[in-house]
């Protein structure tokens, strides 16, 4: 007997998956059959998705909230769609896009339309991500031009740094001793020296 599963992915641990979960619960999917990954799409290491793939049997059904949950870019979304529908022989229903429901239109025309819509949506999703990255880059560049500093503020050097540095430079003390006298880890001392020189 075929089973119904849900898949949820959020891009980071602090993002909330509730919106996707609610949509899956509304479809009557058991909590035990919902797989959640809280990881960046950047490296795409998705342990829950891999577990789901191992459980799938031909005829099963997977619900996802939106098409971009399947992959981080156009090629990956298309590849996962192919793996699920052609290799695993399961059905997919994209809740936000009713046209992407492989249970309907199993004939040649239905399959063609679903594949066409999928390609268009995948392209749009990837294009949107590129636009977001471009807007972020432009925003950062504009902020830098206004003098906004990014990153962690630099800690000021201890007042006796020049004296300890001079003794280290002359070979009177080693780096570990110098770092201890300055109350910092040796790696920090090396970092400060590198930037000073």
Which amino acids are annotated catalytic?
11
DSSP string, 108-148: HHHHHHHHHHHHHHHHHHHHHHHHHHHHHHHHHHHHHHTT-
Cα dihedral value 134, 80, 9, 61, nearest 10: 140
Q: Give the C-alpha separation, 22 to 20, whole Å.
A: 6
| 36 and 17 Cβ atoms separated by less than 8 Å | yes
- The values of phi and psi at residue 67, to 5°, are -65, -30
Three-state secondary-structure class, residue 9 = strand
Q: Give the C-alpha separation, 52 to 67, whole Å.
A: 17
């Amino acid at each position: 007997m075929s089973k119904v599963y849900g898949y949820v992915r959020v891009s980071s641990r602090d993002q909330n998956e509730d919106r996707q979960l609610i949509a899956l619960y509304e479809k009557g999917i058991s909590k035990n059959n919902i797989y959640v990954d809280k990881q960046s799409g950047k490296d795409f290491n998705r342990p829950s998705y891999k577990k789901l793939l191992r459980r799938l049997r031909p005829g099963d059904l997977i619900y996802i909230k939106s098409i971009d949950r399947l992959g981080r870019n156009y090629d990956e979304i298309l590849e996962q769609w192919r793996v699920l529908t052609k290799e695993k022989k399961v059905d997919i229903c994209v809740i936000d896009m009713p046209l992407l429901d492989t249970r309907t239109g199993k004939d040649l025309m239905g399959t063609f339309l679903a594949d066409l819509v999928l390609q268009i949506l995948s392209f749009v999703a990837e294009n949107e991500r590129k636009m977001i990255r471009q807007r972020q880059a432009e925003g950062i560049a504009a902020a830098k031009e206004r003098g906004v500093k990014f990153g962690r503020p630099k800690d000021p050097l201890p007042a006796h740094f020049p004296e300890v540095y001079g003794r280290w430079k002359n070979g009177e003390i080693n780096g570990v001793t110098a770092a201890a006298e300055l109350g910092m880890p040796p790696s920090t001392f090396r970092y400060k020296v590198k930037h000073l020189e």
